[in-house]
Structure 1
Amino acid sequence: MSTPIHKRLDEFRQLDRVQAGSLIISVFGDAVVPRGSRIWLGSLIRLLGPLGLNERLVRTSVFRLAKDEWLGSEPVGRRTDYLLTPSGQQRFEDASRHIYASSTPQWDRRWRLIVVVGELGGRERERLRQALFWQGFGALGADCFVHPSAELIAAFDALVAEGLADVLPRLKPLLAADATLGTAASDAEMVRRAWNLERLAGMYADFVGRYQPILQQLRDSAGDVDDESAFLVRTLLIHDYRRLLLRDPELPDALLPAEWPGQKARLLCRELYRRLLAPSERHLDAHFQLADGRTPEAAPLLFERFRDVDPLLQPL
C-alpha cells in the first residue's frame, strides 16, 4: 500500500521537468554545509539518484552552478570535490536565517525601499525586478521596490552576487517610517499593491496539503521511516519550503490577513524536519563522501535548527 511518503517521492519522480540546479542548491544548504560545505561529485550523484535525477543531469547542473559562481571545484586525484564559493556561502547563510527561524522577525515599523534613480534598459530593469523578487521585495510601480524588514546592505550584496553590480550606482536605498508614508490604512494599501498575498496564501496551502499527510504518517507510526526515504523527503521538504520563502516578504502579523497559512506551514516544516533529522543523518553518514573517501561529521550547529521546539531534536 502506498504511504504519503511514497506518494510524495513518486510524485516528484514523475515530474516532466525538474529544476535540478535549484534542488542541488537546497541539498548544499541543508545537508552539505553542515558537513564542511563540500562534497565529492560522485557522492552527490548517488544521493540524488533515488529522486530520479540521472548522472548526466546532476553533472550538467553542477557545472552550470560553477559557471554561475555558486560552486567551485577542487580535484583530488581522479575525483573532484565541489564546494561553495564565498558568495555562495553568503547566499546560503542569508537563506538559512529565514528557513530555520522559529518565527517571523519583529517589525520595527520602517519600510525598506530601493528606488531607481538612474536610467535602466529594459533587460536591466527586468533582471533587477527578478533579483529583488527572489529576495521578497514587492514593486510599487516600475522604479520603487519595498520590503518590511530586509537588510539593505545584504540586499545590495545579493544583487552583486547576481551580476548586477553595474546597476547599483543607479539605485538608492531608503528607510521610511510608516508614519512618513501615511496611516495604517496606507500600509495595507501598499501591501495590496506590492504583493499578491492571495496567490502566496494558495501556495502555502498547497505546501501544507502536500506535507501534512506525511507528518501524520510519522506521528501515527512513531517515526518509523527508512533512512533513505527520510533523507529524500527532508530534501524535498526544505527545497519546497525554501522556494516558498523566496517569494514571501515575511510581512508582520499586523499586515497579514487573518489566519495566514504561512505560520501553519512554518510549524509543519519545523516538526516534520525534526522527525526526519535522525534517520536522514544516518543515511548521510553511510553515503556522504569527499573525493578522498572521508565522510565528515555533521557540525553541532545542524542540531540547533528548530531547536526551540522540543526534545525530539537531539544530537545523534
Structure 2
Amino acid sequence: MKQLTSTEWIAHFLASDPPRSKSLVVTIFGDTVAPHGGTVWLGSLIELAAPFGVNDRLLRTSVFRLAQEGWLVANRDRRRSSYSILAQALPRFERANRRIYAPLEINWDGNWTLVMAAGAAVDAPVRAALRKELLWEGYAQFSPGVFGHPAADSAVLAELLARTGARQQVFACSAAALPEVGARALPELVAEGWDLSDVSAAYEQFIAQFSPLLALQGDAVLEPQQAFVIRTLLIHAYRRVQLHDPMLPVELLPEPWPGARAYELARTLYRSVQAASEQHVMAVMRREDALAPDADAAFYQRFGGLE
C-alpha cells in the first residue's frame, strides 16, 4: 500500500472526518491561543482556521456562539475585534489541558470519592446540572443521587460543586473498602459503573488514524502550516476521545488498555511537529499584533516536556 505524504494525509483526514467549526475553535483556543496570552485577533483566528475548511462566516458564527455560552469574550478596538478566553472559563480549559497533556497512568490508593446528592434537599435544576457535570468528570452513578470515582481530584470536585451551586446541598467524602465486610469483586463494580467499550474503541480508532504519521515518506521537513494543521487535528481528535475517558486507575482498567498507546502516539507526534507549528502560529498572530507573546513556560511542559 502506498504511503501517504503529509499533504495527502491531511486532505484525506479532512475529507473523511472534518472537525465541526465550533469544536475546532475550542481546540485552537485551548491548544494554541491559551499559551500565547489567551487572546487572538479575529483576523488571525480566521487565518488559523482556514486550512481546515472553516470559512470567515462559519468562524464568526462559532466565536459568537462560544461567547454566548460563556467560553469566550469579545473585545473591540475601533474597527477590529479580538476574542479572549473568559476568566470564568479558564478553570475548564486548564482542567481539560491537565487531562490531555498529562500521562494517563493513575495509580489507586484504595480510596473512593463519594458524592451523595439524594433526597429533597437538592433542588431539581441543581441535581440535573450536578449529574451532568459529575458524569462528564468520569464519576459513576451507583444509585439515585450517589456518585463515585476511585481517583477523583478534590480541587476539581470543589470547583464543580461551586459552579453548579451544589456545595451546600450535597455531602462529599473519601471512603475505603472494609475488607472483612464487603466482598463484591472490584471488576464487577467497575463494569457496572463504567462502560469502557466505547472509549476503548475510540482510542483504537485514534491510533489507526494517526499511526501513519509516524512513517511519512518524503516529508523530512514539514511546512510550518502543515505542522500546525497536524498538531491541531491531533489534539482535536485526542481531546474528543480523552475527555470521555473516566480516568480510572490502572489497577481497575482492562488489559491491555489502548489509552496508554494512544497517549504515547499523541506525545510522539506532538513533539515532532510543535516547533514548526509554533513558527506558523507566531507568523499568523504577529501579522495582526507585532507584540503577540511567545508561548509561555507551561506550554513547554506538555507531554512531559517539549524542546
**Does the TM-score normalized on the shorter chain lie above 0.5?**
yes
State which of 260, 268, 271 in structure 2 corresponds to 1:271. Answer: 268
Deviation at 1:301, TM superposition (A): 2.6
Task: State how 1:134-213 maps to structure 2 within 5 Å.
Answer: 134-158=136-160, 160-161=162-163, 164-165=164-165, 167-179=166-178, 185-213=184-212
Match in the other structure for 2:93: 92
Q: Deviations over 1:89-122 (max 9, x none)?
A: 1111112222111342332221112222234687
Structure 1 residue runs of 5 or longer lacking an equivalent are none
Amino acid in the other structure paired with 2:212: P
- Work out the number of aligned pairs and report it: 305
For the aligned residue pairs, the C-alpha RMSD in angstroms reads 2.7
Deviation at 1:238, TM superposition (A): 0.9
1:1-316 alignment to 2 at 5 Å?
A: 3=4, 5-14=6-15, 18-119=19-120, 125-158=127-160, 160-161=162-163, 164-165=164-165, 167-179=166-178, 185-217=184-216, 223-289=220-286, 292-307=289-304, 313-314=306-307
SS of the residue corresponding to residue 45 of structure 2 reads helix
| Aligned-partner SS, 2:74 | strand
Per-residue displacement from partner, 1:70-93 (whole Å, max 9, x unpaired)?
A: 112222232122111222211111
Superposition deviation, residue 277 in structure 1? 0.5
SS at match of 2:173: strand
Q: Secondary structure at the match of 1:53?
A: coil
Change (3 A) 1:222 1:300: farther
Per-residue deviation, residues 57-77 of structure 1 (Å, max 9, x unmatched): 111111111112211222223
Q: Judging changes above 3 Å, is the alpha-carbon distance between structure 1 residues 251 and 184 closer, same or farther for their aligned structure 2 residues?
A: farther
For 1:9 and 1:252, the matched residues in 2 are separated by: 34
Q: Do the aligned residues in 1 keep the contact of 2:104 with 2:247 (CA within 8 Å)?
A: no
Q: Secondary structure at the match of 1:176?
A: strand
The letter of the residue matching 1:177 is: A
* AA aligned opposite 2:40: I
Distance 1:2 1:79 in 2: 44
> Displacement of 1:53 after TM fit?
0.9
Tell me the TM-score normalised to structure 1 length.
Answer: 0.86
Distance in 1 between the 2:214 and 2:76 partners?
A: 41
**Matched residue of 1:247: which SS?**
coil
Is 40-49 or 71-80 further displaced after alignment?
A: 71-80
Q: Distance in 2 between matches of 1:281 and 1:239?
A: 17
Superimposed CA distance per residue, residues 129-152 of structure 1 (whole angstroms, 9 cap, x where no aligned partner): 332222122222332222222223
More deviation, 137-146/229-238: 137-146
Question: For each residue in 1:17-49, what CA deviation from the matched residue of structure 2 results, as whole angstroms up to 9, or x when unmatched?
Answer: 743222211111111111111101111111101
TM-score (norm 2): 0.88
**For the residues of structure 2 that align with 1:151 and 1:103, how far apart are their CA atoms?**
14
Q: Tell which deviates more after alignment, 95-104 or 51-60.
A: 95-104
